[in-house]
Structure formats: structure tokens, C-alpha cells
Structure 1
Amino acid sequence: MAFFYAVIYLPTRYFIDADFDSFESLAVEWRVGLSFVACHVLALVFTLLPNRLHKVGVPYVVERLNYHHGNLPVWNAVVQFFSAAIGLAGGLSIGKEGPAVHLGATLGGYLAEKAKLPQYGVETLLACGVAGAISAVFQTPLAGVLFAFEVIFLEYRQRYVLPVLLSSVIATLVSHYVIGPLDIFSIESISSVLLSTDLFIACFVLVVFIVLLSALFLHTQKSLWRFSGMSVWWRFSLVAVATSLAAIYLPESLGSGYLSLSRLLSGDLILYSLLLLILVKTVLTAFTIGLGIPGGMIGPTFIIGGLAGVQVALVFDNSVADVALFALLGMAAMMAACFQAPLTALVAIIEMTHSSEAIVPALFVIVFACLLMRVFFHQESVFVERLSFMGMSSTISPFQRYLRHHTVKPVAEEVLLLPRVIPIEQVKDLASSMVDYVVFEIENEWRLARRIAVLDALKTLEQGPQLWLVSEGDRVKMDLSLALESTLVPVIDEPSSLEAMLGWFQKTGMPEVLVAVSDSSFSLVSRHRLDQFLLKSD
């Protein structure tokens, strides 16, 4: 994330001589030119890239988690990194938080793959990457953990909490050391909250405003998803035109918007119509993301909520609605409504302000914003809606989750690895073994037999010399390929979970398989034993 910041920040700092996100300070030709160049460079890049590399962002992370066991291709993350950097440097109304989630999740999945971890290990590291990315962006470690559970996994998983917390804290420390503190609000700017009827009336007005903005944001995107099959040149050119118009008439709507909100709260920025900025920012962000620009929407929606909070505070008397407080409440409500992540929104504003003053009104606006979105607009998280539009589920069944959280060890049986020609003394030693099966190799094929069958073959020596007898010097040996009937059995690498094992049985129709635990060790897994385990576990 520090490198991501550098790629975005340094060009604007040294070549344009402006702070990151300070697009309104540029000349109008620069603003229009940057947006046009960014959109058309992205169109060229996506035209040259194969279609499989076009998929990026948070919905893609959830898709790979649910349908591909958390395997996130590295090249898609590379595309996400540079395409988001181009869009952000060009002033497009997108955020860096969504790309950060993709990058963090890819890193976690890559490390898990290299370490050959089971499926629950893959999911743990993926959650660590997501939480670390959010923590690095906002410097809010607990909110990063909750975001991973509420937005990506859509459930709380206790067994992942400790490593995810550790990842989140470390990411925050590194971000603070490398990037510096990211304080949008100061403690002094938030006065003591006096709970009153007037305050909650103002909060309810804010909730209604936020819900209407969220509905506008979601429905604008959903109406644009239908054009995803259109040429990338047409779609990105439309974004360039829309962004250029905003750059000419309302440059404060460009970029993620953090600087505009911060300056508005400090009194440095005077707008002739804050409501117009809120509407333009909402529609422009939805238009940009909906037409396929590979950027995030978490940051812009956060800022839209903050601006909406300021607008509501300005309507009411200062003694009722503190501007900084309502900016916080608007940010929390907008995040909760758009992503259905209530605890993440609540904890984020507490960590950002290092104050608990806003907890009660924040809970009020968060709960009502989430409920109204579900009851009146029947809307889930924007990421869930996106996956549903693509015909995919954002969650997995409890049965799949149970299988993913177990390795093959509970259903694996130990086997003895024997040479094809074995000394008689070693065969006799099998009588004291507790292992039921033996395996041996014939012409690069593995054969499976019961241990008791080897001992029964040895007893046939009482009837006289046998065809399987092999004499080597003064030692007598048994040729297992001649001594007993055996079954050809395939060998596979150890699957990451019982889900993968069950999928293999369903695909091949084989009754049993040898799982290579190491180069010289095997375990036997049978479909019958797997079914027994699932029925016993219910």
C-alpha cells in the first residue's frame, strides 16, 4: 500500500505541483486533459489484455473465494494496481480502498498457495490480506478486521480472529511509519454530544438523506451493468466526457474527495451548492464504477456520506447539529447502507477520531440506514448485488463451509508402502502391524491390497513351493505381484480440504484413492469412509 501511495502521489506532487486529490487547484485544461488521458489509456490497456485479466476489485475477490477456493491470480492484481493508479492520478471519481482489498487478498492467497496450506489456511491468509489493506488505507485496525468478516466473508469467523488482528495491527503500524498519520478529523473538532430529541430528529433526517443517496448510487450502477458487453472504448469514453464536465464546472467532485471534505470542515472551501456537489459526486462515482473503470467505491461513498452529514448539519442550528459530528455520522451511515457493514462503519469512525463521543447517534443512524435500505429498497451490499447480477452467490452453503474447514486427515487411513519383492521375514512382521492396507508399485502403477491377504499368501507355503517365491542369494523373498490379487489405485496430491476431495470423487467416480502426504508416505481415502464421516458428523 505504501508503494501504491507512492505511484499515485509522486507524479501529481512533482509533475503537476499539487497535492494528491487537489484537482480543483489545477487549471481547467489540466483537469480535462488528465481525465481524458486516464480513460483512454485504460481503454487501450484493457483492449490489449485478455478478458480473463479484466476481472478486478472486491466482487472478484468474493467470487474467487467462493468458487475457486481463494485462488487469486497474481496478474489480475498487477492489472488492478496499475489501472487503479492510472484512474486515481487522472482524477476519476474512484477510491483506492477497493483495489487495496484486491491486492491484499491476492498477497494472502499467494502466500497460502506457496506454503501449500489447507483451505482454512488459505481463507485465513486471505482475510489477513484484506484486513491489512483496509488498515493501511484508513489506519483503523479493528475496522479492517470487521470489514474482512462483514463484507468479504459475510459472517464472523472466530477461529480467524487472532491472525487477522495481528495482520491488521502490523499493517497500521507500517502505514503510519511509511505514509504518516492519516487524520481526517481531530478530537478537538468534535464537541461533546448532548443527547436530545432535536439531535435525533436531525439524525433521522440524515438517515433519510443517506438512504436516498445510497439508493441512487446503487440503482445507477445496476442500470449501467447491462452495458458491460459494450466496447470498452465506448464505455470509458463516456466516463471521460462525464468526468470532463465535472472537471470544468465542479472540480471538487474529482478524485476520491478526501481533501474537499477536509477543507470544507476547516472552513477553507466555500461551495455555492453543497447539495449539488453531493448529487454530482454520487452519480459520477456510480457512473464511473458502473461502466467498468477498475477503481474502488469505498472511499468515495465514505466522502459522499460525510458531505451529506455536513449538509444536514448546516440546515439545523449549530447547537443541535455539530458539523464535524454529522460528517462522521454521514460517513458511517453511508458505508453501512451501501455495504451492509454496520459494525465496520461504527468502529471506523471511532478509530478515526480516537473518541467514543459519537457512539449513540452513530448506532442510531447506522441501524436505521441499514434497515431502511433492506425494507424499502430491498438492497443488499453493492458487492452482493453485483455478484447476483452476474448469476453468482456471495455466500456458500453450510455444508460447503463444513467441508472447507476440514482436511482429509479425518477420513484418511494409513497404508504400508512395500517393495514389490519383499523378504519373507518382513512379510512375517506384518502380522504385528495394525495397518489394514499395503501398497506397492508395478511399472509406475500403484497397487492396493489388504495386509491380511499378504499373510494369507504366506500361508500357502505350507502346501509347497509357490510361483511367487524369489531367491536372491541366501534370502527368500515374495513377489507381491504374483502372490496376491491387488487393485490399481490412482495417486493424487493431498487436497486442500474435504470439499476438494469430495469433488474429486464426484468427478472421477473412483471408489478410493491414494493421497501423497509426502514423497514416501501415502494415505488411503475411500468414498465410503468419506460418506460415513459426513453422516456421523451430520
Structure 2
Amino acid sequence: MRRLLAPFRLRALVRRSEIAYTVIAAVIGIVAGGAVVLMQEAVTFMAVLIFDSAGEVSGAESVSPLRALSGPLAGGILLGASYLIGQRWFRRVADPIEANAVTGGKIAVPGSLFISGQTMVSSGFGASVGMEAAYTQAASALASWGGQKLRLRREDLRQLVAAGAGGAIAAAFDAPLTGAFYAFELVLASYTVAALLPVLAAAISATAVTRLVGGHHGLDLYFAGQIPAPSFIPIAVLAVISAVVGILIMRAVSATENTFRKSVLPGWSQPVVGGLCVGLLALATPRVLSSGHGAMDVVFGSNLTLGALVLLFVLKALASVISIGAGFRG
């Protein structure tokens, strides 16, 4: 059976015209923005059903102990079952970074959507993981599919995949430049003039979609010009401290993964154990659940003591380490 391809004239136009190629990248950004909005709404709907929360569960004032404990546990059971299904129906699926480095931007769409679904289940049921992996996986896979139908050259396909992933990050954080830097730094791993326009077009169009359809959902931060010059020194120190803490957390995740891998627990049961542990932590505070964006809004809007902030940070970091180390997607 002959593969379904885009019309010949369209393929030829995109291959020889930078303007047409940039328009295609902008369309990919629109698709990425729409995908982000749909997944956000789906996770919010799950939070309403599972935790009786009006928005993201980490921003809820309170969650009943039964829901806080059973939500992550049920998510672990579902995720464990999904791994059994995935072993049979889906081969290992590359993320956009690996795909661009190894396969020239070719990503399997069915497997990517399956992984995105696993991430939605993980976050929706309260595991302490973010949704960014789902956003970038789905958007870059759709970009790869479209690029292959257009029979783009290898480098053009890699750029389109980077544009899709960058558009997803831009839409998720309501920050076009953040998405563009993500595409260049991580997915392409280089800065090229040829990729500048398509990546920016995707990032801007994706952000426009989320603002028009999903409304503004990014954090309101200071503009750099409003910060006094002497404040830049403590900000730089804070950046270094944050980087060190981030490295320590990532190493803790690796150690937790190795611990689970060496244990006698079968792979499908590990998310169940992880979900139970996260549920127990959620009995202390619901702020540890899900991605934590809702908790950030609450913390920034309240005057918590230093001790309360440190405790919340430790519990959230521990919940994230357990969630990812136990096999939750995010």
C-alpha cells in the first residue's frame, strides 16, 4: 500500500522556499499550542474527578485524606498496567532530543501519544511530575509526522521537530523565548540562522493559541528593568544554588531508579509502590501532588514562614524523586 504523502507541488514548495517552510513551522506551533491546551484541560478534569479540586490539585486549599492517598495509588496501578500493554504494542520511543541526535528527527506517533497519555495519567492522578514531557513528545511527534509526509531533508526535519518541541514549551510556560531557547539548546543542540525563523514562528504561534484559547496562565514576574542593580548579585547567587540543588535532585532520582531496578519488585508494581509513598506524603500537604504549578501560585501569594517553606520544598522534592524513580512519566 502506497504511503500517504502531501501533494507533490506542496512538497516541492516547502523544500525550496524558506517562507513556505516557516509557514509550516507556524502551523506546527498552532498544533502544539492546541495540544498543550487540550492536555491541560484533561489533567484539570481528572483533578476535579479524583481530588474534587477546582483546578490543579496542588493549589487546592485541602484534599480529603482518602482522595489524597488513593489518587496516586490508583495512578500507579493504571501506569503499571500500561507498562504491560506498552511492552507488547509499542517499541521504545525516542524523545525529541534523542530523535534529532540519532534518527534524524523521525519519531513514532502512536508510541509518542501513548507516552503522553501515561504522563497525563501520572500527573492527573497526583504523581509529583510535570506535563512538559507530554507536551514536547506529542508536539514533536506530530511535527515529525508532518515533515516526513512532506519528505523534508534530514536537517529540515530536525529543525521542524525542534520547532514543535519549542512551541510546546512556549505554550506551556506562556514564554516564546523560553520555548525557542529550549529548541536550540536541547533539541537542536546548536544555534543556526536557518532554524531561527521556523523555531520563532512555532514558539510565537503556539503561545498565541494558548492565550486566545486557554487564557493567560503564566506566572507574573518582574521585568528585568524593574529590579534594582544591587539585586542582581543575590539573584546570581540564587541561580547557582538552584543549579546545585537541581543536580542533587537529579542524582537522587537516578539513585531511586537504581534502587527500584535492583529490588525484587516486578516492573509493573513499582509505580504502585511509588504512588502509595506519594499518597502518604500528600496526607501532610496536597502541595506535593501533581506538577506543582498551582502550589507555586499559592506560595507566592502567601506569607509562609521559612520553616514552612523549607518543609514544603523537602516534601515536594522527595515526592518528585519517588514519583520519577518509581516509573511515573513526567
Return closer, same or farther for 1:17/1:224 CA change in 2, 3 Å cut-off: closer
> In the alignment, what sits opposite 1:37?
74
- Quick one: distance in 2 between partners of 1:214 and 1:186? 21
> In the alignment, what sits opposite 1:232?
267
> In the alignment, what sits opposite 2:11?
none
> In the alignment, what sits opposite 1:442?
none
Return closer, same or farther for 1:141/1:293 CA change in 2, 3 Å cut-off: same
Give runs of aligned pairs for residues 14-93 of structure 1, distance below 5 A: 16-21=52-57, 22-23=59-60, 25-50=62-87, 53=90, 55=92, 60-93=95-128
Deviation readout 1:60-101 (Å, 9 max, x if unpaired): 322222222221111111212211111111111100112111
Cα shift at 1:201: 6.0
Letter in 2 for 1:47: L
For the 8 Å contact 1:213–1:282, the answer to whether it is kept is: no
- Quick one: distance in 1 between partners of 2:188 and 2:242? 25
Q: Secondary structure at the match of 1:273?
A: helix
- Quick one: distance in 1 between partners of 2:238 and 2:319? 21
Return closer, same or farther for 1:60/1:253 CA change in 2, 3 Å cut-off: same
Give runs of aligned pairs for residues 144-293 of structure 1, distance below 5 A: 144-185=179-220, 192-196=226-230, 199=231, 202-203=234-235, 206-207=238-239, 209-226=241-258, 227-228=260-261, 231-267=266-302, 273-293=308-328
2:126 aligned with 1:122: no
Return closer, same or farther for 1:178/1:46 CA change in 2, 3 Å cut-off: same
Q: Which structure has the greater CA radius of gyration? A: 1
For the 8 Å contact 1:53–1:76, the answer to whether it is kept is: yes
- Quick one: distance in 1 between partners of 2:198 and 2:153? 16
For the 8 Å contact 1:228–1:292, the answer to whether it is kept is: no
- Quick one: distance in 2 between partners of 1:158 and 1:228? 43
Letter in 2 for 1:194: P
> In the alignment, what sits opposite 2:132?
97
- Quick one: distance in 2 between partners of 1:140 and 1:72? 25
Unaligned runs of 5+ in 2: 1-35
Letter in 2 for 1:214: G
Return closer, same or farther for 1:24/1:235 CA change in 2, 3 Å cut-off: farther
Deviation readout 1:295-345 (Å, 9 max, x if unpaired): 1xxxxxxxxxxxxxxxxxxxxxxxxxxxxxxxxxxxxxxxxxxxxxxxxxx
Cα shift at 1:250: 2.7
Letter in 2 for 1:19: G
For the 8 Å contact 2:96–2:162, the answer to whether it is kept is: no
Return closer, same or farther for 1:14/1:224 CA change in 2, 3 Å cut-off: closer
Q: Secondary structure at the match of 1:50?
A: helix
Cα shift at 1:214: 1.6
Letter in 1 for 2:81: L
- Quick one: distance in 2 between partners of 1:54 and 1:26? 38
Letter in 2 for 1:118: R
More helix per residue: 1 or 2? 2
Give runs of aligned pairs for residues 101-116 of structure 1, distance below 5 A: 101-116=136-151
Q: Secondary structure at the match of 2:229?
A: coil
Letter in 1 for 2:251: H
Deviation readout 1:249-302 (Å, 9 max, x if unpaired): 13211111112121121127678521121122223212322332111xxxxxxx
For the 8 Å contact 2:159–2:199, the answer to whether it is kept is: yes
Structure scoring higher RCO (CA < 8 A, sep ≥ 6) equals 2
Letter in 2 for 1:176: R
Give runs of aligned pairs for residues 6-21 of structure 1, distance below 5 A: 6-13=41-48, 16-21=52-57
For the 8 Å contact 1:35–1:243, the answer to whether it is kept is: yes
Cα shift at 1:238: 2.6
Deviation readout 1:385-404 (Å, 9 max, x if unpaired): xxxxxxxxxxxxxxxxxxxx
Deviation readout 1:123-181 (Å, 9 max, x if unpaired): 12101211111111111112111101101222112211111111111111111111100
For the 8 Å contact 2:83–2:268, the answer to whether it is kept is: no
Return closer, same or farther for 1:40/1:275 CA change in 2, 3 Å cut-off: same
Cα shift at 1:41: 0.5
Give runs of aligned pairs for residues 112-511 of structure 1, distance below 5 A: 112-185=147-220, 192-196=226-230, 199=231, 202-203=234-235, 206-207=238-239, 209-226=241-258, 227-228=260-261, 231-267=266-302, 273-295=308-330
For the 8 Å contact 1:23–1:31, the answer to whether it is kept is: no
Alignment root-mean-square deviation, CA: 2.6
More strand per residue: 1 or 2? 1
Return closer, same or farther for 1:203/1:141 CA change in 2, 3 Å cut-off: closer
TM-score normalized by structure 2? 0.79
- Quick one: distance in 1 between partners of 2:143 and 2:261? 29
For the 8 Å contact 1:69–1:119, the answer to whether it is kept is: yes
Letter in 1 for 2:320: T
- Quick one: distance in 2 between partners of 1:138 and 1:187? 15
Q: Secondary structure at the match of 1:25?
A: coil
- Quick one: distance in 1 between partners of 2:123 and 2:87? 23
**Identity %, equivalent residues:** 22
TM-score normalized by structure 1? 0.50
